Amino acid sequence: MSDNDNDAVIILGGGVIGLSIAYYLSKSPDFRRRIHIIDSAPRLLESASGYAGGFLARDWFKPECAALGDLSFELHRQVADEHGGQRRWGYAGSHVYSMSLQGEAEGSRVEDWLLEGTSRAAAVGRRTEGHVSAPGEVVNGDGTPAWMVTQDGASWNVVSGAEDCAQVEPRRLCEFLHEECRQRGVEVHLSSRATGVVMDGDGSIVGVKITSTDNQPCGPRSLRCSDIVVAAGCWTPRIIESLFPRNRTKIEIDPLAGHSILYRTPRYAKPFMNVAHGQQDKFHGKDENIAYAIYCPPTESWSWAPEAYARLNADSKPEIWVGGLNHDGTVLLLPELATDTKKLISRESLAELRKVAVTLTGLKATDSQVAEDDLEVEWEGLCFRPVSRTGVPIIGQISPKDLGVGFHNTLGAKVWVASGHGPWGISLSLGTGAVMGDLVEGREPRVDLSALKPESRMGSKL
Ligand SMILES: Cc1cc2nc3c(=O)[nH]c(=O)nc-3n(C[C@H](O)[C@H](O)[C@H](O)COP(=O)(O)OP(=O)(O)OC[C@H]3O[C@@H](n4cnc5c(N)ncnc54)[C@H](O)[C@@H]3O)c2cc1C
């Protein structure tokens, strides 16, 4: 391979989607082409993929991406089983509960508060399925998991069991994908941005022009390729606009900000449930620990629907992630670089987030209604969900005609998009990587993607 292999694949964006695509392409036995991941940030995982909650579901999706959701859920389990994901990125089946708290905002139901396609809570509101109980589960008097504070006047429902929901540590999953890609020769170019396409004399796209985002000289100024995959989350529309200024379409993906917090509490000191020997079949795998997901509606005390995830992390330490659609409502402009997102963190939003975390999981003195803050915070973060206007991801090729590069390019590089996964990019990541691998290799994708194609949603630009 040389720097100018004509048939290289260039993936723009090194979040969980870009990494998953590179993972499946580089894993394919017949695939011998060079793969480049170009990311504008100086470090990977400063975006949603590094700060997400890590909740996975099999079938909480709109019909258009139900098959992709099911495929992806199976692949998460398969990859975890093959590579020790239970230990390396905290993969575990998850029990899921919804909890209504005293003082729930009057007349509110979770799904009224949230735009479709932007939160899991809307799906929770529609579900009350059976609970797969297992031996060893430690619960409070009211039946809630023991790491939660017993809430006076609260009621709760079991939403789903570990056979259809799971959790991972998103950052560790991405690190695993990155390491596998690196070992198979995938090249990651950080602090780099594609600023234009290279055309041959016939007007066919034959490569991309690369410039540095940190004013340092960076490798070759252009990379030849036969496929360009734009998988840059919320930044995807900007990339399409800048590479194809004459494009007559728009990829509609909006950034939806969310603060989150990861912490430990003394009450979640060890995994609550080891599936007893002989019970594994019930959980369809080798899960030894069970994670917990709790969804709460807005209350008089907070205006958003918190999501709390408790799991054993890859360092064998129990941790809790709390987040949700909790940004205070001011419009946050997507920064140029993912690393600059930190500058937008709102102290007020973080303070409210911590108040929620303490209310749900802080130390509750027996004679007090108010929980105390004894949480040990690992990190507090802000990131942007890439939300498509239709609430499902956009996956497929953008035709040369739509890109405005002319008909000559039928022989030039193909341009693909894989983005707009909203609040579900971790769950849908491996499935997206696998089907994009199929498409780039010229195979029929393993699940029907016709409802996710870019063409089906593009409006004309006036
Ligand atoms: C608070 C929160 C909680 C979430 N919880 C969950 C969850 O529990 N389960 C779930 O399934 N999903 C969850 N999500 C959603 C999930 O995190 C996203 O859908 C997913 O991470 C999107 O991945 P991505 O690779 O498309 O984009 P990103 O992770 O945003 O990655 C985009 C990458 O593109 C790079 N980039 C930007 N501009 C350029 C450029 N010009 N050139 C090259 N590269 C560029 C960025 O630096 C970044 O590395 C959550 C999201 C948020 C915000």
Whether 434 contacts 452, CB under 8 Å: no
Cα of 426 vs centre of ligand 1, distance in Å, is 8
What three-state secondary structure class fits 294? Answer: strand
* Mean predicted confidence (pLDDT) in 280-292: 62
Ligand 1 atom with the shortest distance to the CA of 232 = 34
Which pairing describes strands 165-167 and 227-230: parallel, antiparallel, or unpaired?
Answer: unpaired
User: Ligand 1, atom 16: nearest CA belongs to which residue?
Assistant: 425
State residue 276's pLDDT score: 45
Mean pLDDT of the chain: 85
Give bridge partners of residue 384 from the DSSP assignment. 257
Encode pLDDT of 62-99 as tens digits.
Answer: 999 999 999 999 999 999 999 999 999 999 999 888 88
pLDDT tens per residue across span 360-394: 898 876 666 677 888 999 999 999 999 998 889 99
Question: Which pLDDT does position 433 carry in this prediction?
Answer: 98
Using a 6 Å cutoff on CB, does residue 167 contact ligand 1?
no
* Beta carbon of 39 within 6 Å of any ligand 1 atom: yes
pLDDT over 50 (residue 109): no
Mutational pocket test of ligand 1: of 124, 197, 346, 385, the residue with most ligand atoms within 8 Å of the beta carbon: 385
300 versus 240: the higher-pLDDT residue is 240
pLDDT confidence bin for 112, thresholds 50/70/90:
very low
Supply angle C-alpha 218, 219, 220, rounded to 5. 120
- 35 close to 5: Cβ distance less than 8 angstroms: no
Indicate if ligand 1 lies below 6 Å from the C-beta of 427: yes
Three-state DSSP at 205 gives strand
Amino acid at 72: S
Q: Distance (Å, rounded) from C-alpha 59 to C-alpha 66?
A: 6
Is 288 within 8 Å of 274 (Cβ atoms)? yes
| CB 386 less than 6 A from any atom of ligand 1 | yes
Per-residue confidence (pLDDT) for residue 70, from 0 to 100: 98
- Residue 37's alpha-carbon distances to 19, 44, 299, 302, in angstroms, are 8, 11, 43, 40
Residues contacting residue 201 through CB under 8 Å, at least 6 positions apart: none
The per-residue pLDDT for 300 is 77
Residue closest by Cα to atom 27 of ligand 1: 233
Residues 193-225: pLDDT tens digits? 999 999 988 888 999 999 999 877 655 589 999
pLDDT at position 441 is: 97
The DSSP bridge pattern shows strands 414-419 and 227-230 to be: parallel
How confident is the model at residue 85, as a pLDDT?
A: 95
Q: Which distant-in-sequence residues (6+ apart) come within 8 Å of 183 by Cβ? A: none
**pLDDT of 297 above 60:** yes
Please tell me the distance between residue 47's alpha carbon and the centre of ligand 1 in angstroms.
5
Q: Which residue puts its alpha carbon closest to atom 2 of ligand 1?
A: 52
